[in-house]
Amino acid sequence: MLHKLNARMVDVVDNFALVKSQSIQSRVVVVGYEQCGRGGGSEEKKQQQNATPVSHSDSDSVGMGVAKSNIGDDIDKPSPPSAAGGGGGFDICLPKQPGCVVLKPPLLVKNRERRLSGNSNSNSNSKNNSNVSLLRPGMVLLKGYLAPSVQQKIVEKCRELGVGEGGFYQPGYEEGTKMRLKMMCLGKNWDPRTSQYGDRRPFDGARPPDIPPEFHTLVSNALRDSNAHTPHNPLPSISSDICIVNFYSQTGRLGLHQDKDESEDSLRRGLPVVSFSIGDSAHFLYGDHRDPDTAQKLLLESGDVLIFGGPARNVFHGVTDILPTSAPNFLLQHTNLRPGRLNLTFRQY
């Protein structure tokens, strides 16, 4: 599988200066034929449990358990269940080839990347307000908010955590269907089989890694900048204690669901979910019902931050498809991120 550029060509140059910044929840899903999700104890989950599991294509049908690192381009191949606790995980980046040619991107290319990523030379998370859209009350899109250097650091940190204890694995539901993504929980574990949060993963006993402190800063800055755009209806700030990290291969998806496994208090107060998108772009659906036909569609690109809280906290949402080879070159060059999309959702239990 090839990236837009040869991702193995590493470049040593340059810091793309810049902006930085930074979002979570639970689910239950249906996009088209697929039924699965994150968020349960709910009516939707009950419906889901009663549903006949849908069989996926070979590449999407995966065993529960911890995948091994570097298992190849088809990340959705079955992987054996892991032994309790130790290591395993899944490497979201491809191995760099020793001795490969190091390319310095021409200035024109670098400038184009900067423009496309909405980069500036500021160290603030905030960007100008023209990149902020209120999609509906309580739902805000910060377009191109995460600076390239910040995206790079997030990938590197998720990669490091993802191959260790509590790292990426292929989750599945109680009734046997598998989620079409790799998942890693930070802070608390979300268990797709029970739709509950806990301190350890039931299947291998691993404790989720802590949320890195720099991620907390990104989340608060994103909420601050979002609220600056809607001063009359600010969303409450969160002290996130859960981050669900998803890695979608190019065939990944996530059905329509609500994030509703957080505490009653968190949901009642409309504490926002803050979501970071990195890597390949995705089509994202959102709406008032678990119905893809009436949902609205949004393109989420690398660096975008989506926030939904307050009156939008219970919005149904999901990912229909990943757009192949749409990740920005700078990211591939600097991180060797596999083809696919990384998404982090921050929430407060």
What is the widest separation between alpha-carbon atoms in the chain?
Answer: 57
Nearest approach, Cβ of residue 328 and ligand AKG (Å): 17
Residues 310-329 that bind ligand AKG (CB under 6 A): 317, 319
Out of 206, 244, 267, 295, the residue judged to bind ligand AKG by CB under 6 A = 244
Q: Is 257 annotated to bind ligand?
A: yes
Residue 221 in the binding site for ligand AKG (CB under 6 A)? no
Q: Return the residue of 44, 113, 241, 259 that touches Fe ion, per CB under 5 A.
A: 259
Residue whose C-alpha is closest to residue 278's, from 157, 123, 126: 157
**Least distance in angstroms from the C-beta of 292 to ligand AKG:** 14
Restricted to residues 249-308, the positions that interact with ligand AKG (CB under 6 A) are 254, 259, 275, 284, 300
User: How many secondary structure helices (H) and strands (E) does the chain include?
Assistant: 6, 15
**What's the rounded Cα separation, in Å, for the pair 278 and 147?**
11
Q: Which residue has the tokens 């009642």?
A: 268
Minimum distance between the CB of residue 58 and ligand AKG, rounded to whole angstroms?
A: 23
Residue keyed to tokens 């659906």:
285
Is 317 known to sit in a ligand binding site?
A: yes
Q: How many residues bind Fe ion (CB under 5 A)?
A: 3
Beta strands in the chain (DSSP E): 30-31, 34-35, 132-136, 139-142, 182-186, 189-191, 196-198, 242-248, 254-257, 273-279, 282-287, 296-300, 305-308, 316-322, 341-347
In the complex, the smallest distance separating the C-beta of residue 231 from ligand AKG, rounded to whole angstroms, is: 26
Complex with ligand AKG: residue 155 or 319, whichever CB lies closer: 319
3-state class (DSSP) for residue 236: coil
Q: Which residues pair with 307 in a beta bridge?
A: 140, 274
Residue closer to ligand AKG (CB basis): 336 or 345: 345
- Name the residue nearer to ligand AKG (CB basis): 223 or 319: 319
Residue 177 contacts which entry, ligand AKG, Fe ion, none (Cβ below 5-8 A, type-dependent): none
Closer Cβ to ligand AKG, 295 or 319, answer by number? 319
Asked if 27 is part of the footprint of ligand AKG (rule: CB under 6 A), the reply reads: yes
Among the listed residues 300, 302, 244, the one whose alpha carbon sits nearest the alpha carbon of residue 273: 244
Virtual torsion, Cα 111, 117, 122, 125, nearest 10 deg: -170
Using the minimum distance from each CB to Fe ion, give the nearer residue, 118 or 310: 310
Part in contact with Fe ion (CB under 5 A); list of ranges 65-73, 101-109, 172-180, 255-263: 255-263
The reply on whether position 261 binds Fe ion by CB under 5 A is no
Residue 44 binding Fe ion, by CB under 5 A: no
C-alpha 199/C-alpha 205 separation (Å) is 9
**Residue 268 CA to chain centroid, in angstroms?**
24
Residue 27 lies near Fe ion (rule: CB under 5 A): yes
Contact yes or no for 275/307 (Cβ under 8 A): yes
Enumerate binding residues for ligand AKG (CB under 6 A). Answer: 25, 27, 38, 244, 246, 254, 259, 275, 284, 300, 317, 319, 343, 345
Enumerate binding residues for Fe ion (CB under 5 A). Answer: 25, 27, 259
